[in-house]
């Protein structure tokens, strides 16, 4: 797994974390990834979430990947 993807995903999450509606923020995190990340990056982060025992993603980012990516 590319640690840069984890860092970038958590930075995206950090931006949306201040949103008052947490579910909408979760959707927006996934929406940002869908809009700006190529499919190979999205697949890599989804595979990471699905298989990693030591997940370093923020909880909201982790939820966004699981639910909406």
Q: For the chain, which residues make up each domain, given as ranges?
A: 3-68
Separation between Cα atoms, residue 18 and residue 16, nearest integer Å: 5
Global pTM reads 0.93
| pLDDT surpassing 90 at residue 66 | yes
Mean pLDDT of the chain: 95
Retrieve residue 39's tokens: 């499919």
pLDDT band at residue 54 under the 50/70/90 scheme: confident
- Which residues does 24 contact at the CB level (< 8 Å), separation at least 6? none
Retrieve residue 59's tokens: 């909880």
Q: Is 4 left (phi over 0), alpha (psi -120 to 50) or beta?
A: alpha
């Amino acid at each position: 797994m590319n640690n840069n993807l984890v860092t970038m995903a958590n930075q995206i999450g950090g931006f949306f974390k201040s949103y008052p509606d947490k579910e909408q923020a979760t959707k927006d995190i996934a929406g940002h990834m869908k809009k700006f990340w190529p499919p190979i990056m999205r697949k890599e982060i989804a595979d990471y979430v699905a298989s990693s025992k030591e997940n370093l993603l923020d909880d909201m980012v982790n939820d966004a990947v699981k639910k909406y990516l």
